[in-house]
Structure 1
Amino acid sequence: MGQVTTRMVFEKHAKRKDNLYPVRLRVTHNRVQKYFPIGLNLSDADWGSTMSDNPKKIFKEHRIYIQKVEERAMATIKEIFPFSFEEFRIKFGGSSSERSDVTEVFQRYIDVLNEEERITTAYSYRNALVSQKAFMKHKHRKRIGFEDITVTWLKDYENWMLDKGRSISTIGIYLRSLRTIVNIAITEGNLKRELYPFGKRKYKIPATENVKKALVAKDIQKIYEYIPTNDREAKAKDMWIFTYLCNGMNFKDIAKLKYLDINQGKVTFIRSKTEQSGRQMVRPVTVMLLPDALDIIQKWGVAIKSRRDYIFGVFEENDTPEVQNKKIQQEIKTINKYMKRIGEDLVLPIKITTYTARHSYATMLKRSGVSTAYISESLGHKDLKTTQNYLDSFEDGTKLENQKMLLNFN
């Protein structure tokens, strides 16, 4: 087999519409030369800075990336005997459709989420992909392979988002989405497991502190006894109370409730979040309806024509998942708007939202001595760890009483 050599080439004859030039890998074998794109486009000045003796900042990153591509190319060449350009094209990746890049797998997963009618999750991943593309543009990269998602790349991405004013919460969401895509790539054989960049002694996704989202008993009582000033406040308050009394039911699940879900004083439903997760064993959640919850159904429920009718009339029978999602978001926005006003009128210590009702339900049961296992089941959680994130710390008064027991020697 003849010698195979590689070299990076800055193609000044192939100027793009954005006034950048492609950087390509040239492979030479038996006097035949082939060129392979590496997903990097630079200006003439940037190329000079990248290839200088001591490149700085982003030009140093370009230089490191080019070196890694060349190293991967040489490693690929060593695996091929006898050498052929076609086999190199497939194994190396380049612009080959056989090797998926990050953007492609991202989009494919978003398409799957939409097909499974997981519209909100798909929207979240779409935002993460938009962010990733913006960072690629910042790096002057048209394409990135999964081998490019290194600890350094992730740290740079995090810092770039911080510079853009993104919150730690948003950064965490985008990076967890990217981590899922990387895991898919490993499963599909697009990345070797030993190159996985996340985890212990590698890159750790930043986490926010668990902000207090639950109300204490006296503040829940204030909401319960609050006299609304108009119908919109009244409905917002009642839907908040309904969530609180019905196992902290997510509003999407409330909107999907039908009259046939009610039987003998209880409502049984499957959480949308777990129903769409693809798990084999999905447990239904059963809620015993207190008189107050039944009164809210009586007050705000649509006139029943069929037991298959939606109780609260948020959805129409023929609504698409996209339409349902828009209606849910609008209803939640309206409820939160008026609950915020109620919270301000009552001078409550935290912002009141539909999530506050769910967290308060779980925390009130905990404070009443109910087991975490029961709370977990009633919330529809898969494991106790998830439930623990919902449970607020005990009030200071409870902590003090418990501490006094240390000196109770009777």
Structure 2
Amino acid sequence: MSSIKIVLRKKGLSDGSYPICLRITKDRKTKYFNTIFKSTEKEWDAPSGCFNKRNTNYIQNNRLLLKIKARALKIYSDLDFEKDYFNLEDFSQRFRLDNNPANDYIFPFWEEIISEMKLAGRMGNATMYMETMKSVKQFCGFKKIRFQDITNSFLNKYEAWLRSRGGTGGGISIKQRTLRALYNKAIERNIIKDINHPFKTYKISKLKGQGIKRALDFDQVTKIIDFDTSKYPQLVEARNYFVFSFYTRGMNYTDMMVLKWVDIDSKSISYIRNKTKGRFVISIVPPVREILDYYKEYSLPTEYVFPILLKDGLTPNQINNRKKKTLAKYNRDLKEIAGLCSIKKSLSSYVARHSFANCLKQKGVATDIIGESLGHKNITITQVYLKELGSNVLDEAVALLVI
């Protein structure tokens, strides 16, 4: 007896979700193959082996799952036709080869992962993987490389190469984390073995530099809130987006872009954060209500709150392209606002989130409350986050001791 099914494997992950796997059963033996997906029990339909409508991208995700299952069925059928007998190891070798014809070559596997991410609508991750792959190809002189070529020495040379081209600790860290994630995916899919894992000796944590503090204090945020756009009508959107983000616990630009009127009731905003998939329910404070009322009157006739996406029904790729174009303008406008408000710090879309945390810290709000408001899963993340915001609050606390 044999079966091929997509299942939610009851092996809990740290965030409370479960991995989605392809399960092959043959001759009373079972083997699991990891996919790129994970899910909670509430978003999963076990009988049909697919996401239900509670999953935000269930249509695209289910298409990819069906593609994976169809590939497995074809391989199983081919083996059954070619051989009098085959076992799960035969299937596993063929399945891995079908997924990645070059097998231990990095770039074909990398491209496969990017394709899966695009099909699943995960355009942000796909873009990050594409940019890092392009960088690694340039570093390697566009030569073919295998996973065994990724060593501690390779990673240190790649880091030095990035620095020689003006790379900073933060930017290099992102590329190395992406490369590490790809390496781990190759292990999960049995492309390579977890032997001499290069990232066990090469520590990405060393790349975290101090950088430029991106958070504003409350006086600086107030200048933006009070900024008179009547003299600068071209900056209305940038001012509104920044203030809205600040008062919605640092909602990022991607989430604002796809925020819909159905996500808003008379008292609160409810949305799922694109980056972490965590749900936020945020009370509407007066500055946010004022902005919502403005866009209720002046926004485009679409389902979206903000006039960023110009029509409904766009594909993930179209949304991602629109984001690139409009985010660049938003950041340029924010820098202009900073100059007009005599704010000397560099202003960008993500500064609102850092500033929200910093202002809560200034007001004496406990770290665990700040972390919960930001959606952090543990206090350690918040402590690291706040550490980067400077020591003004500590300086003020010491000043209280001066007689």
**TM-score, normalized by length of structure 1?**
0.67
In 2 relative to 1, CA 175–243 (structure 1 residues): closer, same or farther, beyond 3 Å?
same
Q: Please name the residue that 1:314 is paired with.
A: 308
d(CA) in 1 for partners of 2:200 and 2:242?
Answer: 39
In 2 relative to 1, CA 404–137 (structure 1 residues): closer, same or farther, beyond 3 Å?
closer
Answer yes or no: is 1:241 the counterpart of 2:243: yes
Answer yes or no: is 1:151 the counterpart of 2:156: no
The offset of 1:126, in angstroms, is 0.5
Q: Deviations over 1:247-267 (max 9, x none)?
A: 111111112111221123111
Identity of aligned residues (%): 27
Report the residue type matching 2:169 in the other structure: I
- Residues 4-19 of structure 1: matches in 2 within 5 Å? none
Q: Please name the residue that 1:264 is paired with.
A: 266
- Residues 197-346 of structure 1: matches in 2 within 5 Å? 197-200=198-201, 206-228=207-229, 229-275=231-277, 282=278, 284-301=279-296, 309-315=303-309, 316-346=311-341
In 2 relative to 1, CA 224–267 (structure 1 residues): closer, same or farther, beyond 3 Å?
same
**Cα contact 1:367–1:394 (8 A) shared by 2:** no
The offset of 1:358, in angstroms, is 1.0
Report the residue type matching 1:187 in the other structure: E
Report the residue type matching 2:240 in the other structure: D
- Residues 24-63 of structure 1: matches in 2 within 5 Å? none
In 2 relative to 1, CA 226–404 (structure 1 residues): closer, same or farther, beyond 3 Å?
closer
d(CA) in 2 for partners of 1:218 and 1:112?
Answer: 45
The offset of 1:357, in angstroms, is 0.9
- Residues 178-197 of structure 1: matches in 2 within 5 Å? 178-197=179-198
d(CA) in 2 for partners of 1:118 and 1:186?
Answer: 21
In 2 relative to 1, CA 295–156 (structure 1 residues): closer, same or farther, beyond 3 Å?
same
SS in 1 for 2:199: coil
The offset of 1:348, in angstroms, is 1.1
d(CA) in 2 for partners of 1:120 and 1:201?
Answer: 26
**Cα contact 1:197–1:203 (8 A) shared by 2:** no
**Cα contact 2:259–2:304 (8 A) shared by 1:** yes
**Cα contact 1:238–1:296 (8 A) shared by 2:** yes
d(CA) in 2 for partners of 1:258 and 1:171?
Answer: 35
**Cα contact 2:104–2:192 (8 A) shared by 1:** no
What value does the CA root-mean-square deviation take over the aligned residues? 2.8
In 2 relative to 1, CA 272–366 (structure 1 residues): closer, same or farther, beyond 3 Å?
same
SS in 1 for 2:103: coil
d(CA) in 1 for partners of 2:202 and 2:116?
Answer: 32
d(CA) in 1 for partners of 2:170 and 2:300?
Answer: 44
Q: Which runs of 5+ in 2 are unaligned?
A: 1-89
SS in 2 for 1:215: coil
- Residues 318-397 of structure 1: matches in 2 within 5 Å? 318-391=313-386, 392-393=388-389, 396=392
d(CA) in 2 for partners of 1:178 and 1:205?
Answer: 16
In 2 relative to 1, CA 394–150 (structure 1 residues): closer, same or farther, beyond 3 Å?
closer
Report the residue type matching 1:333 in the other structure: A
Q: Deviations over 1:134-183 (max 9, x none)?
A: 22227xxx322211111111122222223333333332222111111111
SS in 2 for 1:285: strand
d(CA) in 2 for partners of 1:385 and 1:302?
Answer: 43
SS in 2 for 1:137: coil
Q: Deviations over 1:274-324 (max 9, x none)?
A: 23xxxxxx4x10111111111111113466899x82112322221111111
Answer yes or no: is 1:116 the counterpart of 2:111: no
d(CA) in 2 for partners of 1:147 and 1:319?
Answer: 41
SS in 2 for 1:198: helix
Report the residue type matching 2:326 in the other structure: E
**Cα contact 2:214–2:354 (8 A) shared by 1:** yes
In 2 relative to 1, CA 164–405 (structure 1 residues): closer, same or farther, beyond 3 Å?
closer
The offset of 1:119, in angstroms, is 0.8
In 2 relative to 1, CA 340–196 (structure 1 residues): closer, same or farther, beyond 3 Å?
same
d(CA) in 1 for partners of 2:162 and 2:294?
Answer: 47
In 2 relative to 1, CA 293–202 (structure 1 residues): closer, same or farther, beyond 3 Å?
closer
In 2 relative to 1, CA 337–304 (structure 1 residues): closer, same or farther, beyond 3 Å?
closer
The offset of 1:354, in angstroms, is 1.5
d(CA) in 2 for partners of 1:370 and 1:261?
Answer: 28
d(CA) in 1 for partners of 2:227 and 2:296?
Answer: 21
d(CA) in 2 for partners of 1:258 and 1:379?
Answer: 21
**Cα contact 1:102–1:146 (8 A) shared by 2:** yes
**Cα contact 2:269–2:281 (8 A) shared by 1:** yes
**Cα contact 2:155–2:202 (8 A) shared by 1:** no
**Cα contact 2:335–2:347 (8 A) shared by 1:** yes
Report the residue type matching 2:267 in the other structure: G
Q: Deviations over 1:194-218 (max 9, x none)?
A: 3101134778763332531111121
Higher Cα Rg, which structure: 1
d(CA) in 2 for partners of 1:332 and 1:305?
Answer: 18
Report the residue type matching 1:257 in the other structure: L
